[in-house]
Structure 1
Amino acid sequence: MIDAVVVAHGQADVTSRAARSIRSAGVVVQSLTIVDTAGDPALTDLADDATLGATVLPCPDNPGYGAAADAGVDLGQAPLVLVTNADVWVHPGALDELARALEEAPDAACAGPLLLNTDGSPQDSAFAFPGLGQAVSDLLPVPARVRGSRLNGRLWSAGPARDVGYVLGAFMLIRRRAYELVGGFSSVYWMYAEEVDLCRRFWDDGWRVRYVPVAQVTHIRAATTSARDIEMLPQLYRSRARWYRRHSARPMASAAIGLMWLGLGVRARLPGPRREAYAAAQAALNLD
């Protein structure tokens, strides 16, 4: 039995498609909660759709992805909890495969699928925890093959199910007991890095994290945030800096944040529409 929590910020049509794909995925979904962080009347109307069987939980003040997910999780009691973005659709059998992986590994806290682009190509779905390379790879003119490699924490998408540092927060099947033992998502991450933090705490508490590529989910990459990409850049780097401070030794955290500060400073001085956003992101590194 699974409680499903869909965190949505507007986009009622996309959210409805995600919810329907969850309902038709094959596994028994005990409850389906849509957490509305935008106060969108169109999302509220989804609660009236008897074929969907969803509860809509309004959070119009937008507490952030992790806090919104926590609010939805608190409404259920099933032993497994699906936390997902609204910009996904679940392929047949995917939830069954993830649930089976957790059943076969009782010391695993969560499992994530292979995420696909809308054209069927694979997305980065499994990761090692951030090191120095990940701190600056997005800011340097490195080849795409390097940015998508282990040097940047990306783990090969194909192959058998295996342990990984963390899976992408866009779609995570989580064991409720493990979730509750570590305290759920941390509200200090308003957006970005909340799943990295959660999985780090799972590992620190003795749990494993599984990547199950036979389970497949299509993900419209950054469908909610792409329209505000420049606005969200400072939040991205603030969350990254916060993660390093909380989960790395002080020398590593200082080095990683220092490299990000230098890289963002250089990008802020180059011509282009993101100059101000890079400058704001550089300043955001020092907000904690």
Structure 2
Amino acid sequence: MSQARLLCILLNYRTAELCRRAARTAVTALQGLDAELLIIDNDSGDGSFEQLTAFVAAEGWPQVRVISAGRNGGFGAGNNHGMRAGRDDGQPADYIYILNPDAFPEPEAIRVLADWLDSHPETGIAGSLIRSETGAQEYTAFRFPSIAGEFEHSVRFGPVSRLLHKARVPIDLPDRPQPVDWLAGASMMLRREMLDRIGLFDETFFLYFEETDLCLRAARDGWQTVYLPESRVTHIGSVSTGMKCWDRVPRYWLDSRLHYFTKSHGGAYAALATLTHATGGLMWRLRKVLQRKPDADPPHFLRDLVAHHVRALLSRSERRATPQPARRLP
């Protein structure tokens, strides 16, 4: 059996310094594999493209390229641009490895994922154990979001969490390979055969939920998503998105969440998921006041969540009510 052809995609948005570090670790981890590294600048507009181009030229790496996406369409669109660009040698890639610019694979991390896909044809997606720079493991393997999971998360109450433990979205990380519902996209390998069947990332998602959607489509088509703790990656986390210091949840996160539930389960399910989340959130806020607990959400999160969904419903109703121009017969 010939060695699988691999394309590693490293997507940058205004994180050129970290991207250089990620590229160095990726090049080391790709040694001995039939692999190319494609660095994509997602229209950073801060000189990142020029800096990274000069960096790669100075390193003199074979089989490493830097291209510009031409626009910032988000995480999925940027990675899709790389997948469509493909390998420079013109050969189709068997596996696509997605790596964040703030993620640094250990020397064997990428090979572990590729070896698993080689020996497990039922697996469409494989992902790594992600650790912070302090060595703490991050939650990177999950169950699919659901109405019950929305309530469990928002109510933040131990007895409810124990009752709904099978709906809790983050899972306790296993110490051996295990199929899971979905994986965080910081370090994941995708089988090209699977992508040919289910399609690439849905570019309606600007940021967040795009890997959840991809894993759900894969599962519905019969593919496994597997978490591999032997593949280890260090991750700084949320550098380009600023998630850890949000003053307010951005519109694109709310758009992505609503699109995921509506696309995957329908409008009624999405509305019930938001209502359930809001109910749990109100219960938590009452308990927070009575027990003097600290804030756990960004400011105005619950209000923004509900208002966003209501505006989306009103906008949809207006579009349906707007008369469409009559079409002329040919």
TM-score by length of 1: 0.87
1:229 aligned partner: 246
8 Å CA contact 2:151, 2:276 repeated in 1: yes
TM-superposed CA distance for 1:193, in Å, is 0.3
TM-superposed CA distance for 1:266, in Å, is 8.3
In structure 2, the CA distance between the partners of 1:71 and 1:274, relative to structure 1 (3 Å rule), is same
In structure 2, the CA distance between the partners of 1:135 and 1:142, relative to structure 1 (3 Å rule), is same
2:177 aligned partner: 161
Q: Which amino acid aligns with 1:222?
A: S
What aligned pairs does 1:25-44 form with structure 2 within 5 A after superposition?
25=29, 26-28=31-33, 30-37=35-42, 38-44=44-50
1:115 aligned partner: 130
CA deviation string 1:98-125 (max 9, x = no partner): 1111111112111001111111111112
Q: 1:247 aligns with which of 264, 275, 293?
A: 264
TM-superposed CA distance for 1:94, in Å, is 0.7
In structure 2, the CA distance between the partners of 1:128 and 1:187, relative to structure 1 (3 Å rule), is same
Answer with 1 or 2: which has the greater Rg.
2
Question: What is the alpha-carbon root mean square deviation over aligned residues?
Answer: 2.9
In structure 2, the CA distance between the partners of 1:125 and 1:274, relative to structure 1 (3 Å rule), is closer
CA distance in 1, matches of 2:78, 2:248: 20
What aligned pairs does 1:1-288 form with structure 2 within 5 A after superposition?
1-25=5-29, 26-28=31-33, 30-37=35-42, 38-48=44-54, 49-50=56-57, 51=59, 52=61, 54-59=64-69, 61-76=71-86, 77-142=92-157, 151-226=167-242, 229-248=246-265, 252-262=269-279, 274-276=298-300, 278-286=302-310, 287=312
In structure 2, the CA distance between the partners of 1:17 and 1:136, relative to structure 1 (3 Å rule), is farther
Consecutive unaligned residues in structure 2, runs of 5 or more: 87-91, 317-330
Question: SS at 1:72's partner residue?
Answer: helix
Q: Which amino acid aligns with 1:281?
A: L
TM-superposed CA distance for 1:263, in Å, is 5.6
Question: SS at 2:125's partner residue?
Answer: strand
- Worse overlay, 100-109 or 154-163: 154-163
Question: SS at 2:118's partner residue?
Answer: helix
CA deviation string 1:242-266 (max 9, x = no partner): 2122222665433212123446678
8 Å CA contact 1:267, 1:275 repeated in 2: no
CA distance in 2, matches of 1:211, 1:256: 27
8 Å CA contact 1:4, 1:29 repeated in 2: no
CA distance in 2, matches of 1:184, 1:256: 26
TM-superposed CA distance for 1:39, in Å, is 2.6
In structure 2, the CA distance between the partners of 1:253 and 1:156, relative to structure 1 (3 Å rule), is same
8 Å CA contact 1:39, 1:60 repeated in 2: no
TM-score by length of 2: 0.77
CA distance in 2, matches of 1:126, 1:255: 25
Question: SS at 2:246's partner residue?
Answer: helix
Question: SS at 1:275's partner residue?
Answer: coil
Q: Identity over the aligned pairs, expressed in percent?
A: 25
Question: SS at 1:285's partner residue?
Answer: helix
- Worse overlay, 188-197 or 20-29: 20-29
